[in-house]
Amino acid sequence: MRIHDNILGTIGNTPVVKINRLGPASVNLFVKIESFNPMASVKDRLALGIIEDAEKSGTLKPGQTVIEATSGNTGIGLAMVCAQKGYPLVVTMAESFSVERRKLMRFLGARVVLTPAPLKGSGMVKKAQELAAQHDWFLTRQFENESNADMHSRTTAPEILEAFDGISLDYWVTGYGTGGTLKGVARVLKDKSPSTRIIVCEPEIAPLLTDGIEQKRNDDGSPAESHPSFSPHPMQGWTPDFIPKLTGDAMADENADQILTVANPNAMEASRNLAQQEGIFVGISGGATFAAGLEVAESAAEGSNILCMLPDTGERYLSTPLFEGVETEMSEAEQQLSASTPSCQF
């Protein structure tokens, strides 16, 4: 086992794990578990990629404040990277996202500026742009920064190809948040594994890609307004209220073979089933991606290999509906078990 110079060396090389108890027996289901990154999400990759590319280009100056709009996981990843490298960090985040995320970012030393929930994701993006311009801070622009997608082309995609070396990868299933994973991995798979079908999934109540309505953008590629097909959904980090430029690029390059929508209850059920039947602990977005993978599995040819991206950990969702019904006090059955055992005598 190697010794790392610092925590940033532990980013990436996340495991691919076979699913054994869920899905039809006629196909092989696999998941890539991004919670094995040090801050427990896929966004650790983009945080490191964007910051180090900016350092190399001179865009980010020593000691300069970094700022980003985030639903939480990118901010947490950036907070780790900035803490290790010595950059102050400010994040803007819609107040509707889970409190666990803002606490984690503040614990890591970041300042968190909340934006009104009715303004959705585009509201936090505009606030970050305003603060960056006002204070001359470095805006990471995760939704349109090519360093985001490049990091996945350099790390995530080769890891997938290595895992399936010698066997076919028939389907790769992913959601989209920034679009970095989608664009960065899909273009490599199209080149190196052209038989792999790329399945992009999104919330049933926010079918931005499915509806095919063109997103209005500013000159810099950022969203000009909320997408008309967007409705608030619980899959945090999975589909903001606009189509990110990186996502739009991937779709324009025909790097997706199919779009699937996922209903909220199916995402919740898949997350719980992964935990209780496979011991794999993921959030709502991971459950949503796996639910789409299960749909693919129903019609896939016998012996097909399907890989689903699981972007983060379930611990980011303790205050969300995913954990409704999970109590902290003993249930009636647990109380009966407690009462049936004689108390220890001291």
Give me the active site residues, please: 43, 285
Strands 66-69, 16-18: parallel, antiparallel or unpaired by DSSP? unpaired
Q: Is 222 exposed, middle or buried (0-12, 13-18, 19+ CB in 10 A)?
A: buried
Closest by CA to 7, choosing from 72, 73, 82, 84, is: 84
CA gap 185, 74 in Å, rounded: 18
29: three-class secondary structure by DSSP: strand
CA gap 252, 245 in Å, rounded: 10
Closest by CA to 235, choosing from 209, 254, 262, is: 262
Axis crossing angle, helix 73-85 with helix 99-107, rounded to the nearest 10: 0
CA gap 102, 113 in Å, rounded: 9
Residue 48 structure tokens: 């490191």
Residues in the chain: 346
CA gap 256, 210 in Å, rounded: 12
Q: How many helices (H) and strands (E) does the chain have?
A: 12, 10
Strand order from edge to edge, sheet including 305-310: 16-18, 28-33, 305-310, 171-174, 197-203, 258-262
Closest by CA to 275, choosing from 231, 246, 249, 310, is: 310
